[in-house]
């Protein structure tokens, strides 16, 4: 297995099966620290730099919380408008990263341009973690989700995963790439204008992955073991920021996972994940069903970022 020390985490396309399991092992080792709300001194000599060019609640704060749990230091920006990259100068990724690499030991970047974290990594002497790049990928979220599914279902091989929402989304791209390293069948449910790209489908089938396509949650939920849901009513991920307007649409019934459908059709141990934020595709009354695991998923988001930080900083081998 390749060492994680000093490595960028940019994509799940090149992640191998044993590397997923190494991350899960590191998660198991570090989870008790987060569970008991302790901060340790594992990374006391290290600093995380967050470079977030797009809004985030979970990814940035979970990554920062993870570094605090490991006893490290945190600096960075949550809004490029307060930096030279977001004002008159529109400072380039290259020049910005050449500064950030002197301010810390690992850079966590979210950007509205697909490929921006990879570009940053090409200039950086410290590891870069992709925290979501445009429509590209969201590797730390999907590592979190797979860790959650492994814990909740007891396995990843042999499962059927229903993926509901816009298949062009970065989370869906990362799920597809990851699925090829396990015996996972993907059951995709998406509106006609939000289908997967040809390149993505070809990559998955070339690697031996399996994809089925469905018109509605209703016709497929009973065949799957778990689901990952994303909104079909959502922001444009190629924009730095999009304010809410009054014209937001409602999610058609075909793409909603409801309490009624879960009660009537889902297997008894069915697991519902949603990386959040949600619109109306996952009504709040699902929260108190036995299927809801998205709060555990959120907690695991901290654990998984602890594991990734400890591994890329060489604190766990
Ligand atoms: N799931 C997720 O990426 O959430 P944020 O946009 O709040 O980071």
pLDDT of 241: 81
Mean pLDDT of 128-140: 98
Phi, psi of 73 (to 5 degrees): -110, 155
Mean pLDDT of 134-159: 98
| pLDDT(21) > 90 | yes
Q: Which two tokens stand for residue 135?
A: 């429509």
Percent of the chain with pLDDT over 90: 93
- Longest Cα–Cα distance in the chain: 57
Please state whether 137 falls in left (phi above 0), alpha (psi between -120 and 50) or beta. Answer: beta
Average pLDDT over the chain reads 96
Mean pLDDT of 104-121: 98
Cα 57 to ligand 1 centre (Å): 6
Pocket of ligand 1 (CB under 6 A): 56-59, 132, 141, 275-276
pLDDT of 227: 98
| pLDDT(16) > 80 | yes
53, 59, 134: which to mutate for ligand 1, most atoms within 8 A of CB? 59
CB 117, CB 128: distance < 8 Å: yes
pLDDT of 202: 97
Q: What is the distance between the alpha carbons of residues 220 and 160, in angstroms, rounded to a whole number? A: 10
Residue spans of the domains in the chain: they are 17-138+301-312, 139-298
Residue found under tokens 């949550």: 78
User: pTM for this structure?
Assistant: 0.97
| pLDDT(291) > 80 | yes
CA 171, 174, 176, 179 torsion-angle sign:
negative
| pLDDT(246) > 70 | no
| pLDDT(248) > 80 | no
Which atom of ligand 1 approaches the CA of 276 most closely?
1
| pLDDT(205) > 70 | yes
Mean pLDDT of 209-225: 98
Cα 314 to ligand 1 centre (Å): 26
| Domain 139-298: which CATH number of 3.40.50.1370, 3.40.50.300, 3.40.50.12280, 3.40.50.970 | 3.40.50.1370
51, 53, 58: which to mutate for ligand 1, most atoms within 8 A of CB? 58
Cα 216 to ligand 1 centre (Å): 25
Q: What is the distance between the alpha carbons of residues 117 and 135, in angstroms, rounded to a whole number? A: 13
pLDDT of 68: 98
pLDDT of 140: 98
First to last CA, the chain: 11
Mean pLDDT of 218-241: 91
pLDDT of 233: 85
Domain 17-138+301-312 fold: Rossmann fold (3.40.50)
pLDDT in tens, 1-14: 899 999 999 999 99
pLDDT of 283: 97
Same CATH topology for 17-138+301-312 and 139-298: the answer is yes
Residue found under tokens 């497929």: 220
Q: What is the distance between the alpha carbons of residues 9 and 11, in angstroms, rounded to a whole number? A: 6
pLDDT of 245: 74
Q: What is the distance between the alpha carbons of residues 240 and 181, in angstroms, rounded to a whole number? A: 32
């Amino acid at each position: 297995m390749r060492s994680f020390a000093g490595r960028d985490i940019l994509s799940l396309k090149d992640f191998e099966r044993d590397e997923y399991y190494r991350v899960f092992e590191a998660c198991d080792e570090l989870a008790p620290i987060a569970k008991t709300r302790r901060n340790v001194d594992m990374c006391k000599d290290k600093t995380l730099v967050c470079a977030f060019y797009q809004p985030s609640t979970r990814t940035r704060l979970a990554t920062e919380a993870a570094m605090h749990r490991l006893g490290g230091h945190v600096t960075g920006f949550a809004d490029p408008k307060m930096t030279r990259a977001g004002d008159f100068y529109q400072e380039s990724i290259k020049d910005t990263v050449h500064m950030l690499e002197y301010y810390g030991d690992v850079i966590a970047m979210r950007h509205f341009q697909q490929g921006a974290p990879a570009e940053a990594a090409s200039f950086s002497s410290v590891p870069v973690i992709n925290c979501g790049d445009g429509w590209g990928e969201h590797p730390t979220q999907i590592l979190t989700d797979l860790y959650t599914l492994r814990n909740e279902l007891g396995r990843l091989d042999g499962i059927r995963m229903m993926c509901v929402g816009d298949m062009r989304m970065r989370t869906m791209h990362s799920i597809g790439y990851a699925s090829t390293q396990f015996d996972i069948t993907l059951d995709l449910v998406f509106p006609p204008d939000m289908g997967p790209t040809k390149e993505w489908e070809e990559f998955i089938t070339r690697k031996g992955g399996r994809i089925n396509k469905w018109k509605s949650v209703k016709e497929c939920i009973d065949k799957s073991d778990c689901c990952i849901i994303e909104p079909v009513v959502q922001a444009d991920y190629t924009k730095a920021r999009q304010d809410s307007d009054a014209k937001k649409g409602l999610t058609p019934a075909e793409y909603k996972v409801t309490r009624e459908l879960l009660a009537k059709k889902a297997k008894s141990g069915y697991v519902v994940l949603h990386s959040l934020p949600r619109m109306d595709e996952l009504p709040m009354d699902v929260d108190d069903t036995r299927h809801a695991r998205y709060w555990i998923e959120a907690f695991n988001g901290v654990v998984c970022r602890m594991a990734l930080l400890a591994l890329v900083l060489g604190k766990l081998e």
